[in-house]
Chains A and B, each alone.
Chain A
Amino acid sequence: MYRTLRLCASGGGFEALPETPRTVDLKRVRAALEAARVPVIDARVMLIATLEVEVTISRAGRLLFKTADPAAADRAFAWLRPLLG
C-alpha cells in the first residue's frame, strides 16, 4: 500500500503516499489509535495523531510526519502502517 517515506515539498517533514488511490476509513483508524491510547484530533477529513512525532493522516491516505528526523519518522511510520490496512 505504501512504499516509502520522502521529504515533503517544504522540507519540514516526511510524507508517505499510497501507491494507488485509496480512501482511508478515518473512523476505524481513529478508534484503533484511541484503543492504543494515542492522542488524536479528528478534523473530519483528517486525523492528527501524536505518536513519537505528530502525524497527519488524510482521508486520501497521505501521511505527514512532522519531524526533521528521518529515523523518528520511520519509527512512527512502522508503528502506524498496520493500522491503516
Chain B
Amino acid sequence: MLMSGGIDSPVAMHYLLRQGHELLAVHMDNRPFTDDSPLAKVVDHLALLRERYHQPIPLYVVPHGTTQVTLMRETDRHVGCVLCRRFMWRSAERVAEREGATFLVTGEALGQVASQTLSNMRTATASVHLPIVRPLIGLDKQEIEAVAKSIGTYEISTRPGVCCQAVPDRPATRSNLVQILREEERLDVDQIIDDCVRKAVLL
C-alpha cells in the first residue's frame, strides 16, 4: 500500500485492515522536494493503525528524490506528475513482488489533484501489472476527512509540512500514453527503479 503522509492513504488502509487484509506500507521518500514531515506522518499513521488493528504492517521507505531530479532534467515538465506516479507504481510493484504481495493499494480519489483524473490514473497505472485497489475512489474530500477524524489520523495528516516542490505550475490533467512512453524513452527506466528499490529501507 502506498502511504504518502496525507489524509487519504491512512483512511484507505483503515478500510482494508478492517476487512482483515494483511498489508505492507511503501512510502516514496520525495526529499529534497519535500521536508521530513511526510515520512514522520507515515510513521505516526502506521503506529496508530498497528495498534488499532494489531497488525505489524512493515514500512518500506523508497528514495524517490533522485528520480524526481532525473525527471525534471530530462522530461517534459507538463507531464511530470504522471511520470512521477508511474515511477512510484513501478517501485511499489517491485517491493510487492519481493514480499509476495498480490495487489497494490492507494488512497486515490477521483479528481482531487492533477494525478487523480481518470485519464492520468489510466496512464500512470499502465506502468504496472499487479491489480490496483482504490478503496476511496468515489468518496469526496469531506467524507474522507470525516473518516480520518474518526480514526484519529486527520490530526497527523494536517500537521505542517512542505508540499511537493516538483509539481509543475500547470500539471497535465489529461495524458496520452504514447506521449508518456516517448518521454520515458529518454530514460533508463529499469536502472532508475533498480537503484531506488536497492536503496529502499525497511523500518
A residues within 8 Å of B by Cβ?
8-13, 41-46, 48, 54, 56, 58, 64, 66, 68
* Least CB distance, B107 to chain A, in whole angstroms: 18
Write out the residue numbers on chain B whose beta carbons fall within 8 Å of the beta carbon of A44.
Answer: 72-73
B175 touches A (CB below 8 Å): no
CB distance B72 to A8 under 8 Å?
A: no
In angstroms, Cα B33 to Cα A64, docked, is 10
Which residues of B are found within 8 Å of A13, using beta-carbon distances? 35, 162
Say which residue of A9, A10, A12, A43 sits within 8 Å of B68 (CB atoms): A43
A16 to chain B, nearest CB (A): 14
Rounded to whole Å, the gap between the CB of A22 and the closest CB of chain B is 15
Nearest B residue to A48, CB-CB: B32
Q: In the complex, A45 Cα to B69 Cα: how many Å?
A: 10
In the complex, chain A residues whose CB is within 8 Å of the CB of B32? 41, 48, 54, 56
Q: How far is the CA of A12 from the CA of B35 in the complex (A)?
A: 8
- Additional pairs, 10, CB under 8 Å, beyond known A11-B160, A64-B165: A9-B163, A10-B160, A10-B162, A12-B161, A13-B35, A44-B72, A54-B32, A58-B165, A66-B35, A66-B162
B166 within 8 A of A: yes
Closest B residue by C-beta to A53: B35
Q: How far is the CB of B189 from chain A (nearest CB, A)?
A: 19
Contact indicator B160/A12 (Cβ below 8 Å): yes
A43 B161 Cβ-Cβ under 8 A: no
Min distance, Cβ A59 to any Cβ of chain B, angstroms: 10
Q: Which residues of B contact A45 (CB under 8 A)?
A: 72, 77
Check B127 for interface membership: any CB of A closer than 8 A. no
Nearest 7 CB-CB pairings of A with B: A11-B160, A12-B162, A12-B161, A43-B72, A66-B35, A12-B160, A44-B73
Return A14 CB to nearest CB of chain B, in Å: 10
Residues of A within 8 A of B72 (CB): 43-46
User: B37 within 8 Å of A by Cβ?
Assistant: yes
